[in-house]
A and B are shown apart, each in its own frame.
Chain A
Amino acid sequence: MNNLKKNLKIRFEIVCVLCVACTLSQLLIVNTAVAETPAAVEANENWFSGAWLDGSWMPQSVQIHGFLSQGFVHTSDNNFFGKSDDSVSTDYRELGINGSWRVIPELQLSMQVVYRDAGLTDDQDVRIDYGIADYSFYSTESSLLGLKGGRIPTPLGFYNETRDVLSNRPTILLPQSIYFDKNRNISISADGGYLFGEHRTEFGDFFFDVGAVIPRLNDPDGEFALTRDLPGKFSGNLSWIGRIAYEWQSGRIRTSITYADFHVKYKSNNSIIQPGKLQFNPLIFSVQYNGENWSLTGEYEFAHRHFNDFGAPLDSNTTSIGYYVQGTYKFTSWMEGLVRYDNLIVDKNDKNGKKFSASTGGLLPAHSRFAEDLTVGLRFTIIPNLLFSAEYHHINGTAWLADIENKDRTKTKKRWDMFLWMISYNF
Chain B
Amino acid sequence: MALRQNNQTTNPGIFKVLIYLLILLIFISPLVLADSSIESKLILVQPVINANNKQTSISRNGLSAIFKMRLIQWDDGTPVTVFVLPDDNPVHKQFSKKILNVFPHQLRRIWNNAIFSGSGQAPITLSSTAEMIEKIATTPGSIGNLSINELNDRIKIIDIQ
Query: Residues of A at under 8 Å CB distance from B?
Result: 34-35, 38, 60-61, 63, 65, 67, 76-77, 86, 98, 100, 102, 105, 108, 110-112, 130-132, 134, 139, 141-142, 144, 148, 152-153, 161-162, 164-165, 167-168, 198, 200-202, 249-252, 290, 292, 331-333, 335, 337, 339, 374, 376, 378, 384, 392, 394, 396, 413, 415-417, 426
Contact = CB atoms under 8 A, between A and B. Distances in A.
B106 A144 contact: no
Given A144-B70, A249-B102, A250-B106, A384 B117 contact: no
B113 interface: yes
Nearest to A201: B61
A76 B3 contact: yes
B151 interface: no
A415 B7 contact: yes
A376 B31 contact: no
A384 B118 contact: no
B41 interface: no
B1 A76 contact: yes
Interface of B: 1, 3-4, 6-7, 13-14, 16-17, 20-21, 24, 28, 31-32, 34-35, 58-62, 64-65, 68, 70-73, 77, 79-81, 86-88, 100-103, 105-107, 109-110, 112-113, 115-122, 127, 131
Given A102-B72, A105-B77, A332-B34, A65 B115 contact: yes
Contacts of A200: 61, 64-65
Contact of B86 (A376, A384, A417): A384
A148 B118 CA distance: 10
Contacts of B106: 250-252, 290
B14 to A, nearest CB: 8
A77 B6 CA distance: 12
A201 B102 CA distance: 15
Contact of A161 (B68, B102, B113, B131): B113
